[in-house]
Amino acid sequence: MEHVDVAVIGGGQSGLATAHALRRQGREPVVLEASAQASGSWPRYYDSLTLFSPVGHSSLPGLPFGGDPDRYPHRDEVVAYLLRYADRLDADIRTGARVREVATADGGFTLTLEDGRRLSTRSVVAAPGSFGRPCRPGLPGLEDFAGTVLHAAEYRAPQPFAGQRVVVVGAGNSAVQIAAELAAHARVTLAARHPVRFARQRVLGRELHRWLNVTGIDVLPGGRFLRSPPDFAPTDSMEPWFDMCQHRRMPNVKALPLVEPEAPDAVVPCCPPLSERPFTAEEAERTARMFKALGDPVRLRLFSAVASHEGGEACVCDISDVGVSQPTVSHHLKKLKEAGLLTSERRGTWVYYRVEPSVLAAMGQLLTVR
């Protein structure tokens, strides 16, 4: 039986990114991908699939996606990128290696592949995704339904449904994209347990993911809030099994520690979304003050200039070119500070301004449409 250092089950974005991280730690991962190429399930997704995150926020560690950072890449572009990534990754990637069973044995794990081969290891990372075995809920009356029932994993294009009545169950990204595409060819109903929540793709003139990156919200680990957190079962005699099936993302930034809710600098939105409930007098006053401060074009440019710098922080010497004199720039920056949108710190002879993360989070929450 062959022994491997770390077995990574799945060669999609999570498996490849995990292999990259393991190599940086000096480990020797073996990536086991069931399909014929290291691109996960992406080649089998529906034809029109487009990422909701732009290229600039869709790279894996160590290799930029490439091209216009503001465009939203198509499925085939993601496939090509993953193949490039796998080709440059210094790791043992084995395609056509479907894992059928993982069992504990002798203080470690034994993996049995579909062709009968067996591997032993002390560490396993499960990153196969759920596309190969989609969840099919047992809905009452489904057995008597005479129409066509498809899972999103089986959907490819809208043309076969032309002129039909279609119900799309769910309101996630795939469901909404598929429903919007079908609506041009069929009568479509979107069925969900709760009202669909849409987030604006551009806030204050910038792509939403830019603000999430500046504030650090997109890298806050949310495992403690998940109904089914990743499996982590260490013992005294073996290393842990990490399950990344349900909790995968395309990590292109370092993870930051979670801010505890009781911490003084916790990111707590000040106001609810506009459609959730009416503002209190205090919330309305605070929100109006923020938007009033941004109502001036020069202030909006200054605010955007600070936010667009790395880490959401900029020296006043780098953001003064907004078409007005330095005293006027100082006046507008003071107004942004008074509104709570910026904080400042003097370092030597220069003043550095920083976007206040909690306020940005609040504004993003406010602009969310439910």
Which has the higher per-residue pLDDT, 118 or 55? 118
- DSSP letter at 240? P
What whole-number distance in Å separates Cα of residue 52 and Cα of residue 66? 16
pLDDT band of 21, cuts 50, 70, 90: very high
Q: What is the mean pLDDT of the segment spanning 3-8?
A: 95
pLDDT band of 55, cuts 50, 70, 90: confident
pLDDT score recorded for residue 341:
83
Q: Residue 63 above 80 pLDDT? A: yes
Q: What is the mean pLDDT of the segment spanning 311-339?
A: 83
Lowest mean pLDDT among 59-68, 130-139, 277-286: 277-286
Say if residues 24 and 37 touch (Cβ distance below 8 Å).
no
pLDDT score recorded for residue 78:
93
The pair of three-digit structure tokens given for residue 271, joined into one six-digit string: 């106001």
Q: Residue 200 above 50 pLDDT? A: yes
Q: What is the mean pLDDT of the segment spanning 250-260?
A: 29
Q: What is the mean pLDDT of the segment spanning 326-355?
A: 86
pLDDT band of 286, cuts 50, 70, 90: confident
Say if residues 164 and 186 touch (Cβ distance below 8 Å).
yes
Q: Residue 341: CB partners within 8 Å, gap ≥ 6?
A: 290, 293, 294, 303, 355, 356, 359
Whether 281-366 and 2-132+221-243 are alike in CATH topology: the answer is no
Tell me the three state secondary structure of residue 191: strand
What is the tens place of the pLDDT at every residue in 96-118?
999 999 999 888 999 999 999 99
Percent of the chain predicted with pLDDT > 90: 31
What is the tens place of the pLDDT at every residue in 185-196?
999 999 988 777
Exposure of 260 in the CB half-sphere (CA atoms within 13 A): 3
Lowest mean pLDDT among 85-89, 241-245, 293-297: 241-245
Domain locations in the chain? 2-132+221-243, 142-191, 281-366
pLDDT score recorded for residue 234:
35
Query: What's the gap between Cα 105 and its chain centre?
Result: 35
Q: Which residues pair with 242 in a beta bridge?
A: 125, 232
What whole-number distance in Å separates Cα of residue 243 and Cα of residue 230? 5
- Can you state the percent helix, strand and coil of the chain, rounding each to 5? 30, 20, 50
* Average model confidence (pLDDT) across the chain: 78
Q: What is the mean pLDDT of the segment spanning 158-178?
A: 90
pLDDT score recorded for residue 69:
85
Q: Residue 282: CB partners within 8 Å, gap ≥ 6?
A: none
Which has the higher per-residue pLDDT, 131 or 283? 131
What whole-number distance in Å separates Cα of residue 361 and Cα of residue 370? 16
pLDDT score recorded for residue 98:
94
Helix (H) or strand (E) holding 170: none
pTM above 0.75, yes or no: no
Q: Residue 137 above 50 pLDDT? A: yes
C-alpha distances (whole Å) from 112 to each of 101, 151, 238 are 5, 29, 19
Of 6, 33, 136, the closest CA to residue 94 belongs to 33
pLDDT band of 143, cuts 50, 70, 90: confident
Lowest mean pLDDT among 101-105, 139-143, 270-274: 270-274
Q: Residue 53: CB partners within 8 Å, gap ≥ 6?
A: 72, 209, 250
Q: What is the mean pLDDT of the segment spanning 313-321?
A: 82
Which has the higher per-residue pLDDT, 245 or 65? 65
What whole-number distance in Å separates Cα of residue 19 and Cα of residue 13? 10
What is the tens place of the pLDDT at every residue in 208-251?
777 666 666 565 554 444 444 443 333 333 343 443 333 333 33
pLDDT band of 259, cuts 50, 70, 90: very low
Q: Which residues pair with 187 in a beta bridge?
A: 165
**Hey, what CATH topology would domain 2-132+221-243 get?**
FAD/NAD(P)-binding domain (3.50.50)
What whole-number distance in Å separates Cα of residue 138 and Cα of residue 93? 37
Question: Looking at domain 281-366, does it have CATH number 1.10.20.10?
Answer: no
What whole-number distance in Å separates Cα of residue 336 and Cα of residue 167? 48
Which has the higher per-residue pLDDT, 271 or 210? 210
pLDDT score recorded for residue 243:
36
